[in-house]
Amino acid sequence: MLSKVLVAYGTTNGSTARIAETITEVLRKEGMSAEAIPARSVTNVEPYDAVVVGGGLYAGHWHRDARRFVRRHGRALAGHPLWFFSSGPLDATAPERDIPPVPGVQRAMARLGAREHITFGGCLVEGATGFMARKIVSSGRGGDFRDFGQIEAWATRIGTELAAEPRGS
Protein backbone atom coordinates (compact mmCIF):
# COMPACT_ATOMS: atom_id res chain seq x y z
CA MET A 1 0.00 0.00 0.00
CA LEU A 2 1.35 3.41 -1.01
CA SER A 3 0.40 5.81 1.72
CA LYS A 4 2.17 9.19 1.61
CA VAL A 5 0.69 11.45 -1.07
CA LEU A 6 1.62 14.98 -2.09
CA VAL A 7 -1.04 17.13 -3.73
CA ALA A 8 0.84 20.09 -5.24
CA TYR A 9 -1.10 22.88 -6.90
CA GLY A 10 -0.80 26.19 -8.69
CA THR A 11 -3.54 28.74 -8.02
CA THR A 12 -4.08 32.47 -8.28
CA ASN A 13 -7.39 33.06 -6.53
CA GLY A 14 -7.66 29.93 -4.36
CA SER A 15 -10.10 27.86 -6.42
CA THR A 16 -7.54 25.20 -7.34
CA ALA A 17 -6.26 25.18 -3.75
CA ARG A 18 -9.73 24.19 -2.56
CA ILE A 19 -9.81 21.35 -5.09
CA ALA A 20 -6.39 20.16 -3.87
CA GLU A 21 -7.58 20.31 -0.25
CA THR A 22 -10.66 18.26 -1.14
CA ILE A 23 -8.50 15.61 -2.82
CA THR A 24 -6.28 15.55 0.26
CA GLU A 25 -9.26 15.15 2.61
CA VAL A 26 -10.59 12.20 0.57
CA LEU A 27 -7.19 10.49 0.47
CA ARG A 28 -6.93 10.84 4.26
CA LYS A 29 -10.37 9.24 4.63
CA GLU A 30 -9.01 6.42 2.44
CA GLY A 31 -6.27 5.85 5.05
CA MET A 32 -3.42 7.73 3.38
CA SER A 33 -1.14 10.39 4.75
CA ALA A 34 -1.76 13.24 2.33
CA GLU A 35 -0.95 16.92 2.24
CA ALA A 36 -1.83 19.77 -0.11
CA ILE A 37 1.03 22.21 -0.67
CA PRO A 38 1.35 25.13 -3.10
CA ALA A 39 3.57 23.88 -5.93
CA ARG A 40 5.99 26.81 -5.55
CA SER A 41 6.64 25.80 -1.91
CA VAL A 42 7.59 22.15 -2.55
CA THR A 43 11.32 21.53 -2.34
CA ASN A 44 11.46 17.73 -2.50
CA VAL A 45 9.07 15.04 -3.76
CA GLU A 46 11.23 12.07 -2.76
CA PRO A 47 9.55 11.54 0.66
CA TYR A 48 6.21 10.87 -1.06
CA ASP A 49 4.92 7.58 -2.44
CA ALA A 50 2.67 9.29 -4.99
CA VAL A 51 2.01 12.78 -6.33
CA VAL A 52 -1.04 14.61 -7.64
CA VAL A 53 -0.36 17.93 -9.43
CA GLY A 54 -3.01 20.47 -10.31
CA GLY A 55 -3.19 23.87 -11.85
CA GLY A 56 -5.73 26.42 -12.86
CA LEU A 57 -6.09 27.07 -16.56
CA TYR A 58 -5.40 30.57 -17.82
CA ALA A 59 -5.62 31.41 -21.53
CA GLY A 60 -5.02 27.79 -22.51
CA HIS A 61 -2.05 27.26 -20.19
CA TRP A 62 -1.66 25.50 -16.86
CA HIS A 63 -0.86 27.78 -13.93
CA ARG A 64 2.79 28.91 -13.98
CA ASP A 65 3.52 27.37 -10.55
CA ALA A 66 2.26 23.93 -11.67
CA ARG A 67 4.33 24.10 -14.89
CA ARG A 68 7.47 25.11 -13.01
CA PHE A 69 6.90 22.40 -10.39
CA VAL A 70 6.70 19.70 -13.08
CA ARG A 71 9.88 20.98 -14.78
CA ARG A 72 11.82 21.39 -11.52
CA HIS A 73 10.91 17.95 -10.14
CA GLY A 74 10.53 16.07 -13.44
CA ARG A 75 13.17 13.42 -12.85
CA ALA A 76 11.79 12.53 -9.38
CA LEU A 77 8.16 12.68 -10.54
CA ALA A 78 8.86 10.15 -13.28
CA GLY A 79 9.57 7.60 -10.54
CA HIS A 80 6.27 8.13 -8.69
CA PRO A 81 2.65 7.22 -9.38
CA LEU A 82 1.47 10.55 -10.78
CA TRP A 83 -1.87 12.19 -11.59
CA PHE A 84 -2.65 15.63 -13.03
CA PHE A 85 -5.73 17.79 -12.80
CA SER A 86 -6.73 21.12 -14.27
CA SER A 87 -9.30 23.61 -13.08
CA GLY A 88 -10.80 25.99 -15.48
CA PRO A 89 -13.93 25.95 -17.54
CA LEU A 90 -16.26 28.64 -16.26
CA ASP A 91 -19.37 26.72 -17.21
CA ALA A 92 -21.03 23.41 -16.37
CA THR A 93 -19.30 21.36 -19.12
CA ALA A 94 -16.47 19.81 -17.08
CA PRO A 95 -18.53 17.09 -15.34
CA GLU A 96 -20.50 16.41 -18.53
CA ARG A 97 -17.61 15.50 -20.83
CA ASP A 98 -13.96 14.51 -20.86
CA ILE A 99 -11.96 17.69 -21.45
CA PRO A 100 -8.47 16.76 -22.66
CA PRO A 101 -5.41 18.30 -21.08
CA VAL A 102 -3.98 21.44 -22.68
CA PRO A 103 -0.96 20.68 -24.92
CA GLY A 104 1.68 21.54 -22.29
CA VAL A 105 0.08 19.22 -19.74
CA GLN A 106 -0.31 16.51 -22.38
CA ARG A 107 3.43 16.68 -23.14
CA ALA A 108 4.31 16.53 -19.43
CA MET A 109 2.03 13.50 -18.98
CA ALA A 110 3.75 11.64 -21.79
CA ARG A 111 7.24 12.58 -20.59
CA LEU A 112 6.60 11.65 -16.96
CA GLY A 113 4.24 8.71 -17.37
CA ALA A 114 1.31 10.33 -15.55
CA ARG A 115 -1.53 7.88 -15.04
CA GLU A 116 -4.43 10.21 -15.64
CA HIS A 117 -5.56 13.79 -16.13
CA ILE A 118 -8.96 15.29 -15.40
CA THR A 119 -10.34 18.78 -15.92
CA PHE A 120 -12.66 20.13 -13.22
CA GLY A 121 -14.87 23.18 -13.52
CA GLY A 122 -13.33 26.41 -12.36
CA CYS A 123 -14.32 29.17 -10.01
CA LEU A 124 -13.97 32.88 -10.56
CA VAL A 125 -16.00 35.07 -8.24
CA GLU A 126 -16.15 38.63 -6.95
CA GLY A 127 -12.82 39.64 -5.43
CA ALA A 128 -10.71 37.72 -7.96
CA THR A 129 -7.33 39.29 -8.66
CA GLY A 130 -5.93 40.10 -12.07
CA PHE A 131 -7.24 42.32 -14.83
CA MET A 132 -8.75 39.51 -16.96
CA ALA A 133 -10.28 37.78 -13.94
CA ARG A 134 -12.00 40.98 -12.83
CA LYS A 135 -13.18 41.61 -16.38
CA ILE A 136 -14.68 38.10 -16.63
CA VAL A 137 -16.45 38.45 -13.28
CA SER A 138 -17.77 41.94 -14.07
CA SER A 139 -19.13 40.68 -17.42
CA GLY A 140 -21.26 38.13 -15.58
CA ARG A 141 -19.36 35.12 -16.93
CA GLY A 142 -17.82 34.16 -13.59
CA GLY A 143 -19.19 31.77 -11.00
CA ASP A 144 -18.32 28.59 -9.15
CA PHE A 145 -18.47 25.58 -11.46
CA ARG A 146 -16.51 23.12 -9.31
CA ASP A 147 -18.32 19.80 -8.84
CA PHE A 148 -17.10 18.52 -5.50
CA GLY A 149 -18.85 15.18 -6.00
CA GLN A 150 -16.80 14.66 -9.17
CA ILE A 151 -13.62 15.76 -7.38
CA GLU A 152 -14.26 13.41 -4.45
CA ALA A 153 -15.03 10.48 -6.77
CA TRP A 154 -11.76 11.03 -8.66
CA ALA A 155 -9.77 11.24 -5.43
CA THR A 156 -11.44 8.05 -4.17
CA ARG A 157 -10.35 6.24 -7.36
CA ILE A 158 -6.77 7.39 -6.76
CA GLY A 159 -6.94 6.19 -3.15
CA THR A 160 -8.31 2.81 -4.22
CA GLU A 161 -5.58 2.41 -6.82
CA LEU A 162 -2.85 3.36 -4.36
CA ALA A 163 -4.22 1.07 -1.64
CA ALA A 164 -3.91 -1.88 -4.04
CA GLU A 165 -0.25 -1.20 -4.85
CA PRO A 166 2.61 -2.72 -2.92
CA ARG A 167 4.92 -0.25 -1.20
CA GLY A 168 7.97 0.65 -3.24
CA SER A 169 6.34 0.04 -6.64
Q: In this predicted model, which residue has the larger pLDDT, 112 or 58?
A: 112
Percent of the chain residues past pLDDT 70, beyond the cut: 85
Q: Using the predicted structure, report yes or no on whether residue 166 has a pLDDT greater than 60.
A: yes
CB 116 within 8 A of CB 84: yes
Quote the pLDDT of residue 58.
81
Q: Which domains does the chain have, with CATH numbers?
A: 4-163 (3.40.50.360)
d(CA 95, CA 15): 16
Residue range 90-106: mean pLDDT, rounded: 85
Q: Record the pTM.
A: 0.90
Quote the pLDDT of residue 167.
64
72-76, 78-82, 128-132 — which is least confidently predicted? 128-132
Quote the pLDDT of residue 142.
65
Mean pLDDT of the chain: 88
pLDDT digits (tens, 9 = 90+) for 66-79: 999 999 999 999 98
d(CA 16, CA 14): 6
